Structure 1
């Protein structure tokens, strides 16, 4: 095996299933220690930052001579579960592809970053190179939140697989709940307040709001915001009126839309429904939220990535936005302009997962050239 294939195979062979997703999952400890050892042998300063007990980020720095810009390379080292996979941690190479859990999402990008940092750190650069292999991206993003709180950089590259497309924007999300409150009563009593039935008017208003959002102002790369009803629960048994009904909602946001705005939209719906039905009693609660991300495509890092990617691949790379959320938003919110660019493959979270090995080698070469230009 060449160096890139061997490194990626070694990473895939280490079980790093996120234990918050799968109880009893191995977590990031073993893979963080492997990465730390590999980078230390390559000559970098390396240390582990525990995000939660036994679940560290691995941090590596190649210090420049001074006066240059710092570039942060980032990749998550946890994976989702392995249900339905026969041999998830036995990497297999076939027809130029490497198969196994995490091969695509996203140990391929981690391997490319490690190779690039190792290659570039001896080039006499003025700026620092910082690599962060982070925990918990697949659940709550705690690893990159910890990095954003502790470290500074002039720009950041997240090596998520993007099919060699340059991602400069993605949506955020807000999780909310609406609870309607009735009064528990025997099912034979006519006119009792039915919490589930009262949610019907709320759902109708939510559909109208989503249509309004889809027709409203749009981001040039992301389109409009949106929302959907995700979960609903209520009631005790068939012979009783339900005392409560809880609806869980996900609001996808674009730059310029805030969690407070999303909460206010739902509060306005409750007010309108209550005006039409004075018996309605309802509350709105806001849960987890994460911001959208947008980096100008003419910022220094995107321009360098486009130039070096075109030189390596022989064609211009698309500049795009994606509808899902990533750790890039946590770095951008800390004032670090961030983009995503990574290898090609398929099978994220699926029973068959693979990455194109040549694309990993190409990304390592592109990252190396970007580091040399940015930190020169």
Structure 2
């Protein structure tokens, strides 16, 4: 590694270069926003309308990176959805680092602006779909590497960019995991997802795991006027009919009971008490048609739960099912017709030791360039999941810190504070300079 005075000189030159090229980074962000890269698996969209958008955005990004002397490759597991891998080769003597960003966005919503893919500037904010989540991160990645190139820095270790597809639908098998499995392994990863909600450029080393699942409760259809016979003393009870909504409420209350238990049983030193939850997001019940004059014979809850680092999806899945089945055994109908579970997506927790060398290097870089009154001096839990989890799952330390406001992500009028882009670039350049060394 260079002497400290040399590092200071190089970092000062990098800062000045980032300031000089920030306007070009903003132009790149506008161009990336202009390429619709909606994840074609997003709920409510026609896949055919959006297939290929992620690839087109990555090819645009690749033109900027190839101009910096980066080697370009693509990893395409699903046709029309190509991940971009760009590598700035080092001397081969140091540790490697990846900047990871997902190029896919959520579906557009109706907002103030007629075209979600036309960037609009208002003061220092840039509006457009994907601006904050997370194409501003791509602009910051380019700006960091542009500065290293302009200053003439050659790192000891390789510096990668992994611009991946599928993140918005947890499709890591065709995105980040596919890139790693294709042989593009690294010694650490920096993910510039938006981390500025309420504070400026926070840095995270951990995030909860989550799982999406559905619980279906079966009933027995009958005419609405039979309800008194089905639920009152002296009636025929279940032999007359069973309203699946009634039984679903029973299951819902059992799930709430488990959630309350989790408030005490599921803990982690970096998370507030009660952080891990079981969220009911969708309830649907009917007899095949939406009509009130019937006993609905099916009801389905869709849930999203979160769980702490140190626990696994398999453990949590077993715990939830065992609790609901034990509770259901106390109800005569549910004992004979137990709830049906469908587990359809999961995201592992993220955790890199906050005292590890990589976290400390990244944190020192952020603290050196961001105004200290705006952020927590240490790392904090992430407000949402990211592809950092899939690096950490393979034993690769990772941090998350980037431009953009998480509270504006997935919003109708998504926007980013452009002042955050050069700050993020300075953080990443410093991290690369100090990590990718002998």
TM-score > 0.5, shorter chain as reference: yes
Is the counterpart of residue 338 in structure 1 residue 398 in structure 2? yes
Match of 1:104 in 2: 132
Alignment of 1:1-376 (within 5 A): 2-21=23-42, 22-23=45-46, 24-25=49-50, 27-84=53-110, 85-120=113-148, 122-142=152-172, 143-150=175-182, 151-163=184-196, 164-185=201-222, 188=226, 190-191=236-237, 192-194=240-242, 195-223=244-272, 224-236=275-287, 237-280=291-334, 281-282=337-338, 283-315=340-372, 317-318=375-376, 319-345=379-405, 347-376=408-437
2-side partners of 1:177 and 1:357: how far apart? 40
How many residues align? The count is: 376
**Residue pair 1:193, 1:279 contacting (<8 A) in 2 also:** no
The secondary structure found in structure 2 opposite 1:215 is: helix
CA contact (8 A) 2:212 2:304 kept: yes
Contact 1:44/1:118 (<8 A) preserved: no
How much has 1:344 moved relative to structure 2?
4.1
RMSD between superposed Cα atoms in Å: 2.3
- TM-score of the aligned structures, taking structure 1 as reference length: 0.92
Relative to structure 1, is the Cα distance of residues 171 and 88 closer, same or farther in structure 2, using a 3 angstrom cutoff?
same
TM-score, normalisation: structure 2: 0.79
Runs of 5+ consecutive residues of structure 2 not aligned to the other structure: 1-21, 230-235
| Deviation for aligned residue 1:183 | 3.5
Indicate if the aligned counterparts of 1:43 and 1:118 stay in contact, CA closer than 8 A. no
Question: Partners of 1:97 and 1:183 in 2: how far apart?
Answer: 55
Secondary structure at 2:82's aligned position in 1? strand
Q: Offset of 1:278 from its aligned partner? A: 2.9
Contact 2:170–2:346 under 8 Å retained in 1:
no
**Structure 1 runs of 4+ with >6 Å offset:** none
Question: What is the CA-CA distance between 1:307 and the residue it aligns to?
Answer: 1.5
Structure of larger gyration radius: 2
**Distance in 2 separating the partners of 1:294 and 1:29:** 30
> Whose strand fraction is larger, Structure 1's or Structure 2's?
1
